[in-house]
Amino acid sequence: MSQISVSAGQPQTGRVKDVEEVRRHYDAGWRAYLDVAEAALKEEGPNLARILGHCLATRSSGERKQRGRFRPRIGGEPLSDRVPHACHLAYYTSVLVETIRNRLPEGTGRIVEMGSGWGAVITSLWLSGAPRNAEYWALEYTDAGRRLSSLFASMEPAYKLESRAFDYHQPDFSEITGTAKTVVFSTYSIEQITYIKDELIERILAIPGFARCIHVEPVGWQVDPGAPLARFDRFAKKLGLPPLDQAAASRRRCWRKRKNRNLLETLRRFEAAGRIVIEEIDTDLVANDPLNPGTLVVWRPA
């Protein structure tokens, strides 16, 4: 098949995330949930919903993310302090899961998560009614994340999940074979890759049966970087002034933390080359951290 070439990407500026530090950070985080799951399994036996529930409860027992005057927003609305943090996290997770589930095309037979962490999203997706008999693939960087995802799957024979090592810097989907209609998704994992390579998109397009890709990633500030307010805030920052609004504060934080800077720019170049169609962008749809709102981006092969 001849491929239309994609123009070169924007120049990469500034420092990028330290990959080993990222791995250590998440491996330690997911190991803590693995301990919770293993202890609960010993106590209660293999009940997937209960064991996942124990891990989610542990996550909810942490501190609410507070960023000065800014509150987390879901669908543009600030969340109230009058309901417990656990409810916010349940709402946040439910928006992620339903957003993906509602966009699975008829006949989806394979669901692949990139950067799947401890498996909470993909497992919640299966539990909440995504196709029971589809293949589920949890592709993750850390050993602890993969082990916990596999442990969840071991508790429910109908949940057919494969967990594999995956690195966005060397994306490899070659173990995924067969032509099942395939949806690929990511939630808050591309954020860890300061600059993705075009190779990632090429490799996703080459997955047999690939039909749609869904991201929820903190890239809202990439949607219209030339907007007057964004330009004005960049100028304000140079003058040492505080961010003008929540979106500006979020852009500054994403930049400072070396979160992804080129997902939308990359997808738009592939679209301009006639290789993909961007079906949907919903800016700052959902957030747990007020300054890390996730934007929905949906695309498919052209």
73 phi/psi in degrees, rounded to 5: -125, 140
Q: Specify the stretch interacting with ligand SAM by CB under 6 A; choose among 103-111, 139-147, 153-161, 198-206.
A: 139-147
- Figure out which of the listed residues 72, 131, 145, 218 binds ligand SAM, where binding follows CB under 6 A: 145
Q: Does 137 bind ligand SAM (CB under 6 A)?
A: no
From the CB of 98, what's the least distance to ligand SAM, in Å? 14
For residue 190, give every residue at least 6 positions away whose Cβ sits within 8 Å of its Cβ, in sequence order, or none: 114, 115, 168, 196, 215, 217, 219, 260, 263
In angstroms, what CA-CA distances link 134 with 119, 159, 162, 267, 288? 16, 8, 11, 27, 29
From the CB of 189, what's the least distance to ligand SAM, in Å? 4
Dist CA 198 CA 178 (whole Å): 24
For residue 6, give every residue at least 6 positions away whose Cβ sits within 8 Å of its Cβ, in sequence order, or none: 198, 269, 270, 272, 273, 275
Q: Considering Cα of 199, then 96, then 103, then 164, what sign does the dihedral take?
A: positive
Q: Does 136 bind ligand SAM (CB under 6 A)?
A: no
Q: Does 124 bind ligand SAM (CB under 6 A)?
A: no
**Four-CA torsion 87, 89, 95, 97, nearest 10 degrees:** -120
From the CB of 123, what's the least distance to ligand SAM, in Å? 10
Q: Which residue is nearest to ligand SAM (CB)?
A: 117
Q: Specify the stretch interacting with ligand SAM by CB under 6 A; choose among 63-71, 81-89, 165-173, 203-211.
A: 165-173
- Figure out which of the listed residues 188, 195, 221, 270 binds ligand SAM, where binding follows CB under 6 A: 188
Q: Specify the stretch interacting with ligand SAM by CB under 6 A; choose among 50-58, 75-83, 187-195, 217-225.
A: 187-195
Interface residues with ligand SAM (CB under 6 A)?
19, 22, 26, 115-117, 120-121, 140-142, 145, 166-169, 187-189, 192-193
